[in-house]
């Protein structure tokens, strides 16, 4: 089985690569590429994302044919994809970081700034926070409710359909931190930086 991490210059993804290789061992081949043919022949894709919504969308758009390839993989062929941090946020129709930017539109909704209640909550939201699991989720299988995950973000994904939300975290309000819609999975937290529980989530995705 081949799991491909999309390399589209969206910040340092070395910890994502290392975590997937650590978990995969003999079970899967982990490749890091932006080669369209290699992405098409993958069994699963990981879409990381660091930085702003706009910078990540711009970086995706710079690589000719990448958006179309991802759309074909996810929407037409219904193969599993995991978005991490801004990788999840880009599932939305639109994001409002820096300027209004069109997202991938896979899960209808928007990405807006966390309401920090006039400075009561620091932004970015950085560090360990508990997650509240709302429904059975393939990638949260055997993860305990109230587990701690590692976050770094100032913006949150607000989906129109609340049924896609598999977990939230409490920071100023209930922030969506994991979504699942058919073959599309996403975490706002960084599983690759969330110790053994994060590795369990990566394992669950590889084992799908």
The residues that are catalytic are: 85, 190, 192
Sign of dihedral through CA atoms 158, 161, 167, 170? positive
Cα angle vertex 71, ends 89, 60, to 5°? Answer: 55
Closest CA to 8 of 63, 46, 87: 63
Q: In sequence order, which ranges of the chain are alpha helices (DSSP H)?
A: 14-24, 36-40, 53-62, 66-71, 86-89, 195-207
Dihedral over alpha carbons 72, 76, 77, 81 (to 10 degrees): 60
Tell me which residue has tokens 């978005």. Answer: 83
Omega before residue 124 within 30° of 0, cis: yes
Sign of dihedral through CA atoms 53, 58, 61, 64? negative
Instruction: Please state, in angstroms and as integers, the Cα–Cα distance from residue 135 to each residue in 7, 128, 167, 207, following that order.
Output: 31, 21, 7, 19
Cα angle vertex 82, ends 108, 126, to 5°? Answer: 85
């Amino acid at each position: 089985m081949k799991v491909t991490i999309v390399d589209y210059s969206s910040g340092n993804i070395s910890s994502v690569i290392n975590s997937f290789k650590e978990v995969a061992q003999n079970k899967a081949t982990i490749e890091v590429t932006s080669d369209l043919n290699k992405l098409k022949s993958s069994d699963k894709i990981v879409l990381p994302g660091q930085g702003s919504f706009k910078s990540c969308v711009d970086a995706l758009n710079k690589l000719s044919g990448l958006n179309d390839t991802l759309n074909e993989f996810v929407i037409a062929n219904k193969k599993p994809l995991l978005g991490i941090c801004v990788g999840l946020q880009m599932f939305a129709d639109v994001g409002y970081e820096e300027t209004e930017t069109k997202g991938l539109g896979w899960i209808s909704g928007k990405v807006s700034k966390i309401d920090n209640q006039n400075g009561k909550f620091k932004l970015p939201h950085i560090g360990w926070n508990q997650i509240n699991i709302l429904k059975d989720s393939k990638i949260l299988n055997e993860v305990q409710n109230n587990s701690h995950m590692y976050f770094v973000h100032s913006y949150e994904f607000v989906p129109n359909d609340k049924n896609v939300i598999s977990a939230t975290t409490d920071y100023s309000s209930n922030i969506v931190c994991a979504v699942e819609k058919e073959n599309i999975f996403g975490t706002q937290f960084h599983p690759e930086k969330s110790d053994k529980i994060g590795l369990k989530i990566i394992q669950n995705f590889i084992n799908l």
